[in-house]
Amino acid sequence: MPRERRRWLVPFVLVNLLAAVAPAAEAQAPPAAAGEGTEGAPSVSISAPVAGDAGPLADAAPAPATPSPRVVAVHRLLVEHEGAEETAEADGEAPAHPVGLGEILAVEVAGLETFLATAGGMGDVVLFLDGVPLSELNPLGLRLDRGWLVFRLDRGEDDDRAWHLLLGTPTSLVREVSVTVGRDAEHPLPTEVEDFPLAVIYPWEMGIFAVLLLVATIGFAAAARRSDLLRDRTAEVPAGAARPFSLARCQMAWWSFLVVAAYVFIWLALDELDTITPSVLGLIGIGSGTALGARLIDQQKKQSQDEAEAALTQAQAKAAPAAEAAADPATSILQRAEMARLAQRTAELQGAVKGASRGFWRDVLWDGGGMSLHRFQIVVWTLVLGIIFAASVYTELTMPDFSATLLGLMGISSGTYLGFKLPERQQQP
C-alpha cells in the first residue's frame, strides 16, 4: 500500500472506534438530578404523556378501592305460606311497621361476599341490636343477589339477659334501635340503620291487655264492694248491713292480682312462660296462709259464741221453772250466778266477732281500741313490696326474687297479725 494512503487510513479507524464507544459510555453514566446538567450542556426533562398517548404506563393505573362492608338497610319479611319467596315490606332503611320477637327480618349488607369471607362463613355471624350482641341469633339463610342476611328474632337462654336489657323499662310500645351484624360479638359492622322499630309489645296486644285489665279491676272492685268476696263471712250483722272487710283476704287478693297481671305482661313482651320465681310463690303462700289462719280463728270465735249462746238459752230455760218450784233460795242463787257467767261469756264472744263494716280502711286498720299497730305493719309491708314488685317487672321484665330475710319479715308480720287476732275484739257499731 502506498505510504500516502496509509496515512489517511489511521485517522479514519480511530474516528470509527470513538463513535462506537461513546453510546456505551453514555448508557452507563448515572442520570443527572432534576435541574442539573453537565456543564455547557442543556438539561433535559421528561414530560408525562398527553391524553391519547398509548404509553407503556397507560395499563398500570391502580384499580378503584373496594368499599368496606356495611349495613345499609333492614327489611321486615312477609311470608304468606310455607315455601313462598320472602318479600320485603319496605325498601327504605327500616321497615314501616315494628318488628318483634318471632318475626323474620333481612339485614342488607353492602359487600356481603367480602364480609362473609372475613367472617369465615355464615355460622359465626352475630346480630347486634342497639350495640347489644345476640350471640345465639345466627342467620337462617342469605340472599347473595340482594345482599341479605335473614334472621328470626328468637330468644335463647344465653341471650335472655340481652333481651331483658333491650326491652326493659319501655317508655313506649315501640323502641327505635340501631341494627348491624358482625363476624363475632366484638366486631360489629358500620351501619346506616339507626331507627329500626323494635316492638316491645305490639300496640294491638297492649290495647287488648289494657282493656281486659281495666275491666277485670273494675269488675273485681264492684264484686268486692257488693258481695262478701273480700269480707269476713263469719261476722253477724243486722239485716241490710255489709260485713267488714277482711285484712287477710285483701292481702291475698292483692298479691294474686299483681302476679297475674305481671305474668301476662312479661309473656306479651318476651313470650316467656316460666317467670314465676320462688319468692313469688312464697309471697302468695304467705298471703294464702294468713287468710286461711284468719278464717280458722274467726270460725273458732263464731263456734264459741254459738255454744255460749246455746248454753245461756238452756240455762235460762231451766232457771225459770226451777225458780218458781224450788223452795231453797240457794238453788236460785246458784242458777242466777251461772246465767250471769254465761251472759258475760256471750257478750265477750259477741265483741270478738266483727260487726258491720265501717269503711275499708277502718275495717283493715282498726280494732275495738282504734288503729292497731300489728294491722298497720302488715298493710305497710304489703304495699311497699307490691310497689317494688311492680317496678321490677316494668324495668327488668322479670318478677323479683326477694331474699329469704325479706320473706321471713313478711311471715313474721303475718304471724303477729294472727297472734293478736285470737283475743282481738271488734267494737260494735
Whether the predicted pLDDT of 128 surpasses 90? yes
pLDDT digits (tens, 9 = 90+) for 393-429: 888 888 888 888 888 888 888 887 777 776 554 444 3
Of 112-116, 362-366, 379-383, the poorest mean pLDDT is in 362-366
**396 in helix, strand or coil?**
helix
Whether the predicted pLDDT of 257 surpasses 80? yes
pLDDT at 316: 58
**72 in helix, strand or coil?**
strand
Whether the predicted pLDDT of 167 surpasses 80? yes
Judge contact between 197 and 75, C-beta under 8 A. no
Judge contact between 200 and 170, C-beta under 8 A. yes
Of 79-83, 103-107, 388-392, the poorest mean pLDDT is in 79-83
Whether the predicted pLDDT of 164 surpasses 70? yes
Whether the predicted pLDDT of 261 surpasses 70? yes
Percent of the chain with pLDDT over 70: 64
The residue with greater pLDDT, 423 or 241, is 241
Whether the predicted pLDDT of 63 surpasses 70? no
d(CA 342, CA 106): 84
**Rounded alpha-carbon distances, angstroms, from residue 181 to 122, 140, 159, 279:** 11, 14, 15, 39
d(CA 319, CA 291): 42
pLDDT at 334: 63
Whether the predicted pLDDT of 4 surpasses 50? no
Mean pLDDT of the chain: 73
pLDDT band at residue 19 under the 50/70/90 scheme:
low
pLDDT at 3: 46
DSSP string of 24-61? HHHHHSPPPPTT---TTS-----PPPPTT---TTGGGP
Tell which residue, 145, 222, 126, 98, has the closest CA to residue 183. Answer: 126
Whether the predicted pLDDT of 389 surpasses 70? yes
Output DSSP code: residue 392: H
Q: Which residues contact 254 (CB under 8 A, 6 or more apart)?
A: 287, 382, 386
Q: Which residues are bridge partners to 142 per DSSP?
A: 149
pLDDT at 218: 93
pLDDT digits (tens, 9 = 90+) for 131-152: 889 988 888 888 888 889 999 8
The residue with greater pLDDT, 320 or 244, is 244
pLDDT at 416: 78
pLDDT band at residue 214 under the 50/70/90 scheme:
very high
pLDDT at 79: 56
Whether the predicted pLDDT of 179 surpasses 70? yes
pLDDT digits (tens, 9 = 90+) for 27-56: 444 444 444 443 443 333 333 444 444 444
Percent of the chain with pLDDT over 90: 9
pLDDT at 309: 65
